[in-house]
Amino acid sequence: MTTFNNLPLELLPVIVQNVVNPGSLASFCLVNKFFCEFTQPFLYHTIAVFPWNQKEKVAQHDRKSFHQAPECTFLDLLSKTIRLFRTLSSSPELAWHVRKLGDAIYI
Protein backbone atom coordinates (compact mmCIF):
# COMPACT_ATOMS: atom_id res chain seq x y z
CA MET A 1 0.00 0.00 0.00
CA THR A 2 1.36 3.41 -0.96
CA THR A 3 1.32 5.96 1.81
CA PHE A 4 2.01 9.64 1.74
CA ASN A 5 5.52 9.13 3.09
CA ASN A 6 6.61 6.81 0.28
CA LEU A 7 4.88 8.70 -2.52
CA PRO A 8 7.23 8.94 -5.53
CA LEU A 9 8.64 12.48 -5.70
CA GLU A 10 7.88 12.58 -9.44
CA LEU A 11 4.17 12.76 -8.57
CA LEU A 12 4.47 15.84 -6.38
CA PRO A 13 4.68 18.35 -9.29
CA VAL A 14 1.66 16.74 -10.94
CA ILE A 15 -0.34 16.96 -7.71
CA VAL A 16 0.63 20.55 -6.85
CA GLN A 17 0.12 21.86 -10.40
CA ASN A 18 -3.47 20.61 -10.33
CA VAL A 19 -4.35 22.31 -7.05
CA VAL A 20 -6.10 25.57 -7.92
CA ASN A 21 -7.30 26.70 -4.50
CA PRO A 22 -4.71 28.94 -2.76
CA GLY A 23 -5.97 27.74 0.61
CA SER A 24 -5.14 24.17 -0.36
CA LEU A 25 -1.70 25.22 -1.57
CA ALA A 26 -1.15 26.97 1.76
CA SER A 27 -2.12 23.72 3.50
CA PHE A 28 0.48 21.87 1.43
CA CYS A 29 3.06 24.28 2.87
CA LEU A 30 2.14 23.09 6.37
CA VAL A 31 2.87 19.41 5.64
CA ASN A 32 6.63 19.64 6.09
CA LYS A 33 9.63 21.73 5.06
CA PHE A 34 10.11 19.90 1.76
CA PHE A 35 6.47 20.38 0.74
CA CYS A 36 6.63 24.02 1.75
CA GLU A 37 9.73 24.72 -0.35
CA PHE A 38 8.21 22.90 -3.31
CA THR A 39 4.73 24.46 -3.05
CA GLN A 40 5.63 28.10 -2.38
CA PRO A 41 6.47 28.91 -6.02
CA PHE A 42 2.97 27.76 -7.02
CA LEU A 43 1.34 29.58 -4.11
CA TYR A 44 3.04 32.90 -4.85
CA HIS A 45 3.01 32.72 -8.65
CA THR A 46 -0.23 34.70 -9.02
CA ILE A 47 -1.35 36.96 -6.21
CA ALA A 48 -4.75 38.60 -6.04
CA VAL A 49 -6.18 40.49 -3.09
CA PHE A 50 -9.90 40.01 -2.74
CA PRO A 51 -12.12 41.76 -0.25
CA TRP A 52 -13.28 38.99 2.02
CA ASN A 53 -17.03 39.16 1.92
CA GLN A 54 -18.18 37.82 5.25
CA LYS A 55 -21.80 37.87 4.07
CA GLU A 56 -21.15 35.38 1.28
CA LYS A 57 -19.30 33.05 3.62
CA VAL A 58 -22.07 33.22 6.22
CA ALA A 59 -24.76 32.77 3.57
CA GLN A 60 -23.21 29.47 2.57
CA HIS A 61 -23.64 28.12 6.10
CA ASP A 62 -26.43 30.02 7.81
CA ARG A 63 -28.99 32.08 5.89
CA LYS A 64 -30.45 33.52 9.12
CA SER A 65 -27.20 35.32 10.01
CA PHE A 66 -26.70 36.77 6.52
CA HIS A 67 -27.87 40.31 7.34
CA GLN A 68 -25.83 40.46 10.56
CA ALA A 69 -22.50 39.68 8.92
CA PRO A 70 -20.13 42.61 8.29
CA GLU A 71 -19.06 43.47 4.77
CA CYS A 72 -15.45 44.01 3.78
CA THR A 73 -14.50 47.68 3.86
CA PHE A 74 -11.85 49.57 1.97
CA LEU A 75 -9.73 49.56 5.14
CA ASP A 76 -9.97 45.75 5.33
CA LEU A 77 -8.75 45.50 1.76
CA LEU A 78 -5.99 48.03 2.41
CA SER A 79 -4.91 46.09 5.50
CA LYS A 80 -4.71 42.85 3.52
CA THR A 81 -2.69 44.55 0.81
CA ILE A 82 -0.25 46.07 3.32
CA ARG A 83 0.25 42.67 5.00
CA LEU A 84 0.90 41.11 1.59
CA PHE A 85 3.54 43.68 0.69
CA ARG A 86 5.16 43.41 4.13
CA THR A 87 5.44 39.67 3.64
CA LEU A 88 6.92 40.06 0.17
CA SER A 89 9.36 42.79 1.21
CA SER A 90 10.56 40.86 4.26
CA SER A 91 10.88 37.59 2.30
CA PRO A 92 12.56 38.25 -1.06
CA GLU A 93 12.63 34.52 -1.74
CA LEU A 94 8.82 34.59 -1.83
CA ALA A 95 8.64 37.80 -3.87
CA TRP A 96 10.92 36.19 -6.45
CA HIS A 97 8.15 33.69 -7.30
CA VAL A 98 5.50 36.36 -8.05
CA ARG A 99 4.76 36.54 -11.77
CA LYS A 100 1.31 38.13 -11.71
CA LEU A 101 0.10 40.64 -9.15
CA GLY A 102 -3.03 42.63 -8.57
CA ASP A 103 -5.18 41.54 -11.46
CA ALA A 104 -8.11 40.90 -9.14
CA ILE A 105 -7.99 43.68 -6.57
CA TYR A 106 -11.60 44.75 -6.22
CA ILE A 107 -12.90 47.67 -4.18
> Are residues 58 and 94 located together in one domain of the fold?
yes
> Are residues 56 and 93 located together in one domain of the fold?
yes
Amino acid at residue number 18: N
Greater pLDDT, 50 or 60: 50
> Are residues 41 and 54 located together in one domain of the fold?
no
Range of the domain at 62: 48-98
* pLDDT at position 57 over 90: no
Q: What b-and-e string marks burial along 37-62, b requiring 16 or more CB atoms within 10 Å of the CB?
A: ebbbebbbeebebeeeebeeebeeee
- The band of 105, judged by pLDDT with boundaries at 50, 70 and 90, is very low
> Are residues 33 and 59 located together in one domain of the fold?
no
**Domain total for the chain?**
2
Give the pLDDT confidence score for residue 89 in this predicted structure: 95
* pLDDT at position 74 over 90: no
> Are residues 53 and 94 located together in one domain of the fold?
yes
Greater pLDDT, 25 or 70: 25
> Are residues 54 and 87 located together in one domain of the fold?
yes
Whole-prediction pTM: 0.66
Average pLDDT over residues 81-103: 88
